[in-house]
Structure 1
């Protein structure tokens, strides 16, 4: 064999190893985004469960405030539906944007009910209501940290898909930049 053929074989082997390595890195980064979304989703589910428990405790004492309770129930249902759609496609901007919007509506409705609870004498001193309020606050912080972790993974993926020469490989194999989650209250 000639030295030119050896150079061609070596160059081809290096190129194949680079393509395989770059592709695997993109897959690993994309999978990390899915795992980060699963952590975020777990915290959202926890908040939804806590809201249901809160509603059970305050429905009787706050029955005269049915508008606020109904709004919270409706917002909770919308948030759960949006979460289901986002769970099915956690890498698409549309479902994630809808999830963020639904969660913002849920947070606003929840704040209204919590304000009513705070002004209701019987509920102020209820240990179970206080415990759920503290758990909701803790979960809000956890959601914030999970969103930041998700966005960090999205940023790492987007950086990898934008760097030359990986950008060429990314486009060939259908890896496109993703949108971060703007806000989840």
Structure 2
């Protein structure tokens, strides 16, 4: 009788542990899925910014081609026209961001991929700000206008460790809202995998802490 009770208790404990681990696993899967979905929405909006910049590059290429064909005495180039060097720099930065976005799309929760995307993003935004410093507009995470819009280095944080709104080429509040939603989803996932038994499951499945987009 005593052995039967001990066996029953062991099986009960095993069942509790199993349900505990299954519950932790399902929660991690849900949090990972939420972060990936949030990134998908952000990805589409960053792609829209890339397309916008590429459209401006095409316009500047046409303007530059017209300048090369201009005869002496023709009207001067319009104010705000880019030089050949500026055009090349902007085009290269935009192409690099596009490449990093494509690479990150398949693994948005890998910190190395997000770090590379973050660097490419800030290079592109910095190049745009140098060409259009007077027209950079940023929005806070709640969608309200945030002026001025100081662009950060690749690290993406201010000295006070506060997240600063980014000044996007095509001003829109939606992209900052989606960026905040992705960062919040990442924070919730990272908090979950630091707890037991989720930490053990993360080790088994080789799930690491994700990185936000600052």
TM bin (shorter chain) = 0.7 to 0.9
Aligned equivalent of 1:145, options 150, 159, 177: 177
CA distance in 2, matches of 1:11, 1:117: 64
**How many residues end up aligned between the 2 structures?**
165
Deviation at 1:115, TM superposition (A): 4.8
**Residue of structure 1 in register with 2:45 after alignment:** 43
Residue 33, structure 1, aligned to residue 35, structure 2: yes
Unaligned runs of 5+ in 1: 119-133
CA pair 40-72 structure 1, distance change in 2 beyond 3 A: same
Aligned equivalent of 1:77, options 95, 117, 129: 95
- The alignment's TM-score, normalised by the length of structure 1, stands at 0.77
Residue 162, structure 1, aligned to residue 164, structure 2: no
Residue 108, structure 1, aligned to residue 126, structure 2: yes
Unaligned runs of 5+ in 2: 64-77, 137-167
Deviation at 1:151, TM superposition (A): 1.5
Aligned equivalent of 2:204, options 159, 163, 172: 172
How much is the aligned-residue C-alpha RMSD, in angstroms? 2.5
Deviation at 1:51, TM superposition (A): 1.1
